[in-house]
């Protein structure tokens, strides 16, 4: 045996981030390894939402737009996300969803590269990223998508007709992490612009977007802002004056309250806002960012690497006789905060595991995904999860018919 449960408990006792687990609500008896899909709620979210409804909305009514800072929430909240992705103030705007942020980033990039008609999208991208680009190409005249099947193909397609490249820093299925500095440099050397999707990066480790052109991401995964919380977009300062995206809503206007007939873009990052912010959704997001402000991101990464490495080691030891194959990179440097295994009966295996209190998720066709949110996952959780997975496989609990019926959301 490589490590005992008691040794895991001891590791948790000396974990510099251990006090942060207390700041989150987690149901008893649940090992929650799905923080890469929907983060757990900060306990302070409840009071934050109540305060917004009672004091700001109830107390000030429409006056809240000025007196409670609602109008500026996309920018003030963006400035709080900026340090997590390695950029400065005035470079991040919050709002809408990731899919909508992709439309903003891609059309802004196209406006900066007139004459270049190709959008490169990685086939490994999360489907919505791909779908949104497909919709854009259909709606805009004369553009095309050039698919690549992973990084290996990138150099071969970077011709002088490429306007932009859209890729995820961390692959949502495999957890593989790309070298953003190296890829960005190659794309920029070809005269194209780089757009990074950070959905599985921000809050998983220190991200550095300082040289990237654009980045987008959601806040409901590792950033714990709740279901449907707003997304964000980063735009490098060198592009802010020139880029014009297609979602020209009134909040991105230079003078929204002049009610002019024509659209004139605002200066700076404000032009990347679209419309009335979802004020109630910003309350849990800012409650979560109160916690993130106190997180040492080097400690976060060290713990993430320790948890994911431990999980791989234990699963490979406990589950050796069964049909599991590691899909994530073995080298922690090349991994996000997620571990994926393949199993031919992945769906029922995951359902049986969830029934035993260990929550991961399933991605077609055969991937078991486990996310490790370092703020609230402990070494002992990793140990217990590996034991439970081995039991489900050994006892063949997953063969039960009821685990085969697909639920709407996997």
Ligand X SMILES: *Cc1c(COP(=O)(O)O)cnc(C)c1O
- Name the binding residues: 98-99, 126-129, 197, 200, 220, 250, 276
Determine if 373 is a binding residue for ligand X (CB under 6 A).
Answer: no
Determine if 97 is a binding residue for ligand X (CB under 6 A).
Answer: yes
Considering beta carbons, is residue 199 or 225 the nearer one to ligand X?
Answer: 199
Pick the binder of ligand X from 218, 233, 274, 319 (CB under 6 A): 218
Q: Which stretch binds ligand X (CB under 6 A): 48-56, 124-132, 286-294, 381-389?
A: 124-132
Considering beta carbons, is residue 15 or 129 the nearer one to ligand X?
Answer: 129
Q: Which residues in the 225-284 window bind ligand X by CB under 6 A?
A: 231
Considering beta carbons, is residue 103 or 310 the nearer one to ligand X?
Answer: 103
Determine if 199 is a binding residue for ligand X (CB under 6 A).
Answer: yes
Determine if 168 is a binding residue for ligand X (CB under 6 A).
Answer: yes
Considering beta carbons, is residue 343 or 369 the nearer one to ligand X?
Answer: 369
Considering beta carbons, is residue 93 or 199 the nearer one to ligand X?
Answer: 199
Q: Which stretch binds ligand X (CB under 6 A): 86-94, 121-129, 318-326, 388-396?
A: 121-129
Evaluate whether 195 touches 166 at the Cβ level (below 8 Å): yes
Could you tell me which residues are beta bridge partners of residue 147?
121
Cα separation, 136 vs 209, in Å, equals 25
Pick the binder of ligand X from 24, 32, 70, 172 (CB under 6 A): 172
Q: Which residues are annotated as a binding site for pyridoxal 5'-phosphate?
A: 98-99, 126-129, 197, 200, 220, 250, 276
Cα separation, 87 vs 100, in Å, equals 21
CA 339 to each of CA 175, 365, 379: distance values in angstroms, whole numbers, following the listed order? 6, 16, 14
Q: Which stretch binds ligand X (CB under 6 A): 16-24, 158-166, 194-202, 284-292?
A: 194-202
Determine if 362 is a binding residue for ligand X (CB under 6 A).
Answer: no
Q: Which stretch binds ligand X (CB under 6 A): 56-64, 122-130, 310-318, 391-399?
A: 122-130
Determine if 196 is a binding residue for ligand X (CB under 6 A).
Answer: no
Determine if 30 is a binding residue for ligand X (CB under 6 A).
Answer: no
Pick the binder of ligand X from 12, 129, 169, 384 (CB under 6 A): 129
Determine if 99 is a binding residue for ligand X (CB under 6 A).
Answer: yes
Which residues are tagged catalytic? 126, 197, 220-221, 369
State the residues that interact with ligand X by CB under 6 A: 97-99, 126, 128-129, 168, 172, 197, 199-200, 218, 231
């Amino acid at each position: 045996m490589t490590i005992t449960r008691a040794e895991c408990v001891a590791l948790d006792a000396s974990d510099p981030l251990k006090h942060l687990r207390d700041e989150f609500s987690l149901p008893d008896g649940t090992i929650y390894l799905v923080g890469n899909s929907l983060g757990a709620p900060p306990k302070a979210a409840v009071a934050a939402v109540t305060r917004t409804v009672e004091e700001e909305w109830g107390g000030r009514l429409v006056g809240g737009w000025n007196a409670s800072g609602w109008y500026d929430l996309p920018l003030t909240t963006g400035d709080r996300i900026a340090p997590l992705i390695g950029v400065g103030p005035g470079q991040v705007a919050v709002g809408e969803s990731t899919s909508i942020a992709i439309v903003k980033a891609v059309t802004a990039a196209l406006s900066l590269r007139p004459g270049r008609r190709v959008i490169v999208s990685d086939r490994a991208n999360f489907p919505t990223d791909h779908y949104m680009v497909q919709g854009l190409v259909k709606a805009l005249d004369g553009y095309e998508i050039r698919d690549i099947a992973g990084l290996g193909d990138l150099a071969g397609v970077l011709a002088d007709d490429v306007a932009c490249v859209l890729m995820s820093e961390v692959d949502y299925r495999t957890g593989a992490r790309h070298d953003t500095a190296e890829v960005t440099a190659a794309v920029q050397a070809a005269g194209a612009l780089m757009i990074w999707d950070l959905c599985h990066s921000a809050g998983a480790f220190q991200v550095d977007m300082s040289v990237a052109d654009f980045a987008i991401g959601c806040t409901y995964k590792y950033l714990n802002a709740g279901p449907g919380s707003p997304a964000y977009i980063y735009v490098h300062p060198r592009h802010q004056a020139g880029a014009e995206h297609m979602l020209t809503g009134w909040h991105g206007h230079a003078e929204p309250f002049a009610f002019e007939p024509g659209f004139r873009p605002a200066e700076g990052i404000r032009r990347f806002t679209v419309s009335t912010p979802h004020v109630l959704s910003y309350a849990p997001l800012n409650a979560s960012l109160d916690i993130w402000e106190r997180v040492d991101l080097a400690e976060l990464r060290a713990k993430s690497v320790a948890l994911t490495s431990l999980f791989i080691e234990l699963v490979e030891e406990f589950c050796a006789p069964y049909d599991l194959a590691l899909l994530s990179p073995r080298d922690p440097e090349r991994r996000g905060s997620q571990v994926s295994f393949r199993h031919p009966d992945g769906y029922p295996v995951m359902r049986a595991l969830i029934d035993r209190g260990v929550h991961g998720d399933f991605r077609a066709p055969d991937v078991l995904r486990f996310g490790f949110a370092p703020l609230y996952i402990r070494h002992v959780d990793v140990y217990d999860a590996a034991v439970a997975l081995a039991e489900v496989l050994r006892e063949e609990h997953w063969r039960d018919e009821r685990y085969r019926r697909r639920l709407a959301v996997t």
